[in-house]
Amino acid sequence: MSALVVLPVVVPLLAAAVLLLFRGQREFQRVLATGATALLLVVSAVLLAQVSAQGILAVQLGGWQAPFGITFVADHLSAIMVLITAVMALASAVYALVDIDPEREASGFHPLFQVLLVGINGAFLTGDLFNLFVWFEVMLIASFVLLTLGSSRAQLEGGIKYVSVNLVASMLFLTAIGLLYGFTGTLNMADLAVVLPEHDAGLVTTIAMLFMVAFGIKAAVFPLFFWLPASYHTPPIAISAFFAGMLTKVGVYALIRTFTLLFVADVGYTHTILLWIGGLTMVTGVLTAAAQNDIRKILSFHIVSQIGYLIVALALYTPLALAGAVFYLVHVIIAKANLFLIAGITRRLSGSFDLRHIGGLFQHAPFLSVLFLISALGLAGIPPLSGFWAKLLVIAAALEAAQWWVTGVALAVGLLTLFSMTKIWQYAFWSPLTNGVVLAQRPSRLLYAPTIALALLILLLGLWSEPLIALSDAAAAELLDPSRYVQAVLGPATSDVGLGAGHAPVAGGRP
């Protein structure tokens, strides 16, 4: 079933092409876009099931053998990420049916959203570094247009910051790729994993640092995160929520992939740097969030702080920590995006995102308050919600690795997260309405449907976390044993060549 590996890219690509052809028909566009996203969810679920049943799947596009052609690889990590992308895409697509105005739909919101999905899924599935760069660019261009669609002043301002900083990251990424290619003569990740140990570790680490900065900007880590809070609050909520959930996580995915598969020559050096970056990211994100009053800005800074946990988990580089990273990724994507979606509904009810102008929502919308509580407490890591297990895994891994200061920081940041969430709760929901207005109109049920589904998912992952933990363990086991990835891509012929064993010619005929 190798065809399955490319379907998460092909389905949205086909949808985008058809949507471009029928640009005028609004109803048709809405039905097709939602249908294609639902189909993507089905395809992604089947892919994850196949990967758990059969192990890593690889396909050589066009039949050109690795390391010469482009390889698509689905291991547990990729398949989990593709599935969670599809879940979030469907939630955002349904929410967008109400949230996105007809004008934005006419300017091409639906095809652009599908192109964004193409870019994200391509990045998760590709097994080639240059191809990864291409998918990042597809994603960047689509997200830039989505961010500025509607061309309000704030959007353009945010968009300029977003695109200029991300283009710098892309240039660094491309430079690093060029150096690596000049150095090794290959860009296939599995092939690189085989040949890199034969090269001078110092030079490899130098190139690794370039990749770390490039992906670090994309993932919004300290001190390169400033573009994120400057831009994420400007577009409509359906777009903000999807960006908040997914985009930085693609950067985190790229970091996890490269710093487990390729750059593990000097773990003591690279991963210690990652540990510091992670710790500082957590702290700066959560502290700056405490100073904000706009709900979307508070949430944007919390994205940064949560990225810190993911980076720390990667830096610890133990089976437990990497399993924690995967679990945390899934949890934080759902919780964060759902908080954005709920913020969108509170805005419709109260007319503002500013905490100083809204209030009394618990009285007027008790159900929405419950949804908010589930997501917010989930994000803060209160049992029995999904965030509890995610944080528990990461903190347990930090204790196991005897990294005491990171453990302390992670616990403190958890408390401060709770503080920020209670701040929103206190002002927007609990306090009596003082100088704001509660609008009479009831938000459409279509807005509630995705938030309810995601809140249930947070509950479910908390109460019945066993399956996801098992999947995360499987993903971590694969990440820590690159030879399985290499074997899936380059074939069993090279399996007898151990990693770092120093055999020069591997995949027949490389010069």
Binding site for other proteins (CB under 8 A): 2-3, 6, 10, 13-14, 16-21, 23, 59-63, 72, 108, 111
Residue at token pair 């996890």: 256
Contact assessment for residue 208 and residue 270, using Cβ atoms and an 8 Å cutoff: yes
Give, in order, the Cα–Cα distances in Å from 183 to each of 178, 188, 315.
8, 13, 26
Sign of CA dihedral 231, 234, 240, 244: positive
Assign 290 to helix, strand or coil. helix
Q: Which is nearer to other proteins, 2 or 495 (CB)?
A: 2
**Smallest distance, other proteins to C-beta of residue 405, A:** 48
Q: Which has the closest alpha carbon to 72: 62, 60, 82?
A: 60
**Smallest distance, other proteins to C-beta of residue 33, A:** 14
**Smallest distance, other proteins to C-beta of residue 70, A:** 9
Sign of CA dihedral 180, 181, 182, 185: positive
Q: Which is nearer to other proteins, 142 or 341 (CB)?
A: 142
**Over the range 460-469, which residues count as b (16 or more CB within 10 Å of their CB) and which as e?**
ebbeebeebb
**Over the range 421-440, which residues count as b (16 or more CB within 10 Å of their CB) and which as e?**
bebbbebbbeeeeeebebee
Residue at token pair 């890591």: 381
| H helices present in 291-353, as ranges | 295-316, 319-350
Q: Which is nearer to other proteins, 104 or 233 (CB)?
A: 104
Q: Residue by residue, what is the 3-state secondary structure of 177-198?
A: HHHHHHHHCCCEHHHHHHHHHH
**Smallest distance, other proteins to C-beta of residue 409, A:** 45
Contact assessment for residue 305 and residue 417, using Cβ atoms and an 8 Å cutoff: yes
**Smallest distance, other proteins to C-beta of residue 64, A:** 9
**Smallest distance, other proteins to C-beta of residue 486, A:** 19
Instruction: Please state the φ and ψ torsions of residue 57, each to the nearest 5 degrees.
Output: -105, 140
DSSP at 72? E
**Smallest distance, other proteins to C-beta of residue 10, A:** 6
How far is 222 from 397, CA to CA, in rounded Å?
22
**Smallest distance, other proteins to C-beta of residue 21, A:** 4
